[in-house]
Chains A and B, each alone.
Chain A
Amino acid sequence: MGVPLSRREFLFLGGAAGATAAAGVVVPIAISSRNDGSEGGGAAPPTTGTTTTTSTTTTTEAPGGGETAPPVETAQGYPRVMVASMGSLEVDTPVMFEYPLKGQGNLLVKLGRPARGGVGPDGDVVAYSNQCTHMGCVLTDYDGQHKVLGPCPCHFTTFDLTLDGEVTLGHATEKLPRVILEMDGDDIFAVGVDRLIYGHDDNLAGGEPVA
């Protein structure tokens, strides 16, 4: 019956593919981002035929508190650009910046709540492309109460910024592309983008890098 599932895929499918999940048993699911290639992730089918240029590095200690920041990815070819300073951020007040190409809008926000992929002493600073992954409309509404971006003005998709940009409800087939951030002292740098930005087959092709 075809190629057996890998252990990760089996875990992803849990009891659902054939067995009956017993009441109260949680079906296991991989937790981390789908395309980061890191251990524990990879819940998605392999992206056969694509070229992976990701490397995972453990970075720098976080400033101030001396805590270690979570591992972040730096991707080959992406510019490393300072996009904000920690001290200037206020909770729920988004900051806009262009990255990785000129004209590509992103939103950086201190959520006030730990978030997947978040950086900073509280692990709550995240940045995402502001182009909806459904049809590319610009997401204008950040909802600080629920930490979501959306509903998109075009077709109403809403994205959860605490959970890697997951679609909570709506048409989009993809999470929001997450800008990979890195701390250096008080400065916050963009160093890559996880997932494709709307319109692109490759995030770095077809435009002029911001740096």
Chain B
Amino acid sequence: MSNVPIPPVDAKVNITCCEYCPVACAYKVYSWPVGRDGGRDAADNAYGRDIPVGALSGFWPSEEMHTVTEIDGSPHNVIVLPDADMEVVNIGGTHSIRGGALAKKIYNPEGLTADRLQRPLLRVRGELVPIPWDMALDLIANLSRYTIDTFGELAWGMKIYSYQYYENVFAGSKLARGAIGTPNYSPHHAPAAGDDVPGLSDVGIDAFGSAFEDDKEADVILIAGSDPYETKSVRFTTWTAAGGAQLIYIDPRRTFTAQYALNHGGMHLQLTPGTDVVLFSALAREILANGWEDTEFVDSYVASREELDQESKYRKQLFGQTAQEFRDFIMAEPDFALDRAQEITGVPADDIKKAAEILSGGDGPQPKTMLLFEKGLYWSHNYENTAVIGNLGVLLGATGRPGRATSRMGGHQRGGQSGAGYPLEKSPHSFEGHPIEMDTEEWLVQGNTRMRWIVGTNWLGAMGASHALIAKVAELVRRGPQVTSTDPATAEAQLRARMDAGGMVIVQSDIYLNDSTEYADIILPAATWGEETFARNNAERRLRIYEKFMDPPGEAKPDWWAFAQVAQRMGFEGFDWKESNDIFEAAGPRSEGGRRNFLALVEKAREDGVKAHDLLRSYGNKGLQTPLGRDDGGELTETVRLHENLKFKSDSGKLNFIRPDWATVKARNAAIGPDTSKGEVWVLNGRVNAVWNNMFDHVRRAISRERWPVNFIEVNPEDAGARGIESGDMLSIESDNVLDQLGNRTTGAVSAVAYISDSVPPGVTFVYFNFPGSPANSLTSADSTLQPIARRYNFKLGKGRLTRTGSTELGRIMSFVPRNLAPQGG
């Protein structure tokens, strides 16, 4: 029946990390020619272990950890095995269901990855036709030049992964923001570039990210808007849960981690969506009212009025508060009193009081407290929610010391070192007279973008009001001529003519076709993980090498190469890189001063006469925790935790509180929330364990698709009963009251199979966020002027009506058991 081949002693071994969640577990890649297997004796295999191995050995490759691909022209076995020697991150070789199956990501011409993009494609009469790289690159360069010369650089846009490898992000942003100099640049996850946690930044705390060891050091951990077991899986089991801290879990859903907290002496504060401002402010008020705050910390590290008045950041001037001002504000707002807070948030007043006591230690000794959060918090109400968790962090002294931090848990890993600053002064958008990063989707929908390069994102389903956006994009790419010939001059003239007619040309770089490539004119085949040597940080700022172990399929190329080629063909200088290491070294100086600072590594490599990639490789899978420095002997020094010198993000180095505008948030909830009179419910969306954010790979992975053959929606039994819905029924979830990019009312819909579960309360549902063909963000409003401080979407506050469209036989192939079966406490 089943078996997995054993790597021989001389198998090639490369190191890498998982490319998915922000934990970035470390792996070893074993490759060897098919037919040259090793043996079961320790002396006969590359593991140096007798096989079979025992429990927790870390040396068992499951079938998902093995594939066959072509390396150097011949079939090779490849095993991607969690690194059992790890003493950090994934200690002992633990791993998640996602990274554990990385081998199945690898190109296999006889497997499910056979449809990797391998040649540049041009859409000719609606069909994608292979063209030579030279033609594709010349077309992009010539059309880019035409766009800029004719319509200005704001008409040329780039939408690109913010989190990807240093080498690719640096090159792309250098082209767009530097060489072309456009502010029409936004990341995969938002309509505008810029800070995703502006409220917390204005408090003065750097959100990305706390050291995993602090999860073990902490006595109490508050987690808001993230289920770490689902989405940062190994961090939860190896660090967060393993440390035994008391968990205060805040989420509208009773997730696995919520149930885990309850089973282990913690709490679940199950708030009504959109009411985080009130819950966090009520916690702060309860702490202040009882004198439970960290008085010594607040007295020492919070700015005075005089210091605050000197701050150069305008938002600190608008919203910044001293400790006394914050106290007065919190105590005066009636909605932050316990009884009103209970009414608004749905969290019992006693629970708020109890949580405040646990977080602060009440009248007893102060515990070491961590405040961790992710998208459920900051993609609900962005500025205000990130401010209120920061305010609580300051009151509790939760920063800069062992077991004390206020931090994101992380969405993606971090390789977003830009190659050029954002040209803010060119942005057409502003707040209170100050320029802010432009909402590129609003700009596009207004017809201002004539050419856009989409890089590594299935962007249409990732943006709010997805269906309205798709309709607009379809109209823009069909306005004016279509390409009718692969003759370069003809194709270029036709695409120019389309721009002249007010239409748009889309270039997309990716590894597979996806929902968004339907609208692309030119598609570039990208090289990916394992096919090029890259570097990236994880959520605790651990910088590591991701080694190349095979060539990309066909003519696929790393994105940095395509950016450099286009830049050079446009006549820009500074893009003559020969290999990815050249870019990594170029990025070093631009990282200086930040949380990613790896300049010291680049400088040491230069002194040692080696490549920076190779020096990083010498630190193995443990890597280096940034920011880096040098000691007196010239050796590299690491940084375990941010703010360990208790200096914060402000001119004075002090913290401050930020006044959240609850009245505005309340009005926003009314504008975008469900209309219960129409039968609408909240439709929250997010990631789930088995597929996370990776449907590009996971639609091609058997274990994932067997778990999630279609999108699903968790519905409370009460809501299901009232609508005659059973698990396994197909539902259409629709709203005709979604605000589009221009603030106009539009429609959205997804279909999903009903998964009846009391993990969601009545009136609240949960759906996977970007299932192919079923974009949950079509139910999310995209009027970013509702969040004018930083143009962001209220991604997590979707809504819709549930309509049963029929039954299915999915019950025969898909499990509907509760997903929150957590272990009992010991």
* Chain A interfacial positions (CB closer than 8 Å to B): 1-5, 9, 12-27, 29, 31, 34-35, 43-54, 75, 131, 133-138, 141, 143, 146-148, 150-151, 153-156, 158, 160, 162-163, 166-175, 192-196, 198-203, 205-207
Contact = CB atoms under 8 A, between A and B. Distances in A.
Contact of A45 (B3, B115, B702, B706): B702
Contacts of B113: 45
B46 interface: no
Contacts of A49: 5, 34, 68, 75, 77
A207 B3 CA distance: 15
A45 B108 contact: yes
Contact of A169 (B58, B63, B689, B753): B689
A13 B700 contact: yes
Given A16-B772, A47-B2, A2 B821 contact: no
B703 A167 contact: yes
B62 A15 contact: no
B52 A160 contact: no
Contacts of B58: 135
A37 B150 CA distance: 60
Interface residues of B, number: 100
A50 B51 contact: no
A34 B702 contact: yes
Given A2-B118, A18-B517, A201-B6, A171 B109 contact: no
Contacts of A22: 773
B512 interface: yes
A6 to B, nearest CB: 9
Interface of B: 1-6, 34, 40, 50-58, 60-68, 75, 77, 93-97, 100-101, 104, 107-119, 130, 229-230, 233-234, 237, 256, 260, 512-515, 517-518, 553-554, 689-690, 695, 699-700, 702-703, 705-707, 709-710, 730, 732, 749-751, 753, 772-774, 805-806, 808, 810, 812-815, 817-819, 821-823
A21 B554 CA distance: 28
Contacts of A194: 1-2
B822 A173 contact: no
Contacts of A143: 821
B709 A35 contact: no
Given A16-B699, A206-B52, A171 B100 contact: yes
A167 B705 contact: no
Contacts of A23: 732, 749-751, 774
Given A46-B110, A136-B57, A196 B4 contact: yes
Given A2-B114, A49-B77, A173-B703, A54 B52 contact: no
Contacts of A48: 34, 67-68, 75, 108, 110-111
B485 to A, nearest CB: 21
26 contacts: A1-B115, A2-B109, A3-B110, A5-B114, A9-B112, A12-B112, A15-B773, A16-B699, A18-B513, A18-B517, A20-B518, A23-B732, A24-B805, A26-B808, A35-B1, A46-B110, A49-B5, A53-B1, A146-B817, A160-B817, A167-B707, A168-B819, A169-B821, A173-B95, A192-B1, A205-B40
Contacts of B104: 45
A48 B93 CA distance: 26
A206 B44 CA distance: 14
A137 B812 contact: no
Contacts of A13: 112, 115, 699-700
B97 to A, nearest CB: 5
Contact of A27 (B6, B514, B700, B709): B709
Contact of A44 (B57, B96, B702, B749): B702
A166 B100 contact: no
Contacts of A9: 111-112, 114
Nearest to A15: B773
Contacts of A4: 114
B52 A200 contact: yes
Given A26-B710, A46-B110, 4 more contacts: A20-B518, A53-B1, A134-B100, A156-B229
A49 B772 CA distance: 32
B133 to A, nearest CB: 15
A160 B95 contact: no
Given A2-B109, A169-B230, A133 B817 contact: no
Contacts of A155: 94, 237
Nearest to A196: B2
A26 B63 contact: no
Contacts of B77: 49
Contacts of A175: 703
Contacts of B710: 26-27
Nearest to A23: B751
A169 B817 CA distance: 10
A166 B2 CA distance: 17
B807 to A, nearest CB: 11
A193 B812 CA distance: 22
Contact of A17 (B229, B512, B709, B732): B512
A169 B820 CA distance: 8
Nearest to A172: B97
Q: Nearest 3 A-B pairs (CB), nearest first?
A: A45-B111, A21-B773, A136-B55
B110 A45 contact: yes
A73 B118 CA distance: 40
Contacts of B3: 50-51, 196, 201-202
A2 B554 contact: yes
B233 to A, nearest CB: 6
A17 B104 CA distance: 16
Nearest to A206: B52
Contacts of B808: 26
A170 B818 CA distance: 12
Nearest to A25: B751
Contacts of A156: 229, 237, 256, 260, 822-823
Contacts of A5: 112, 114-115
B115 A196 contact: no
A198 B55 contact: yes
Given A4-B114, A201-B51, A43 B1 contact: no
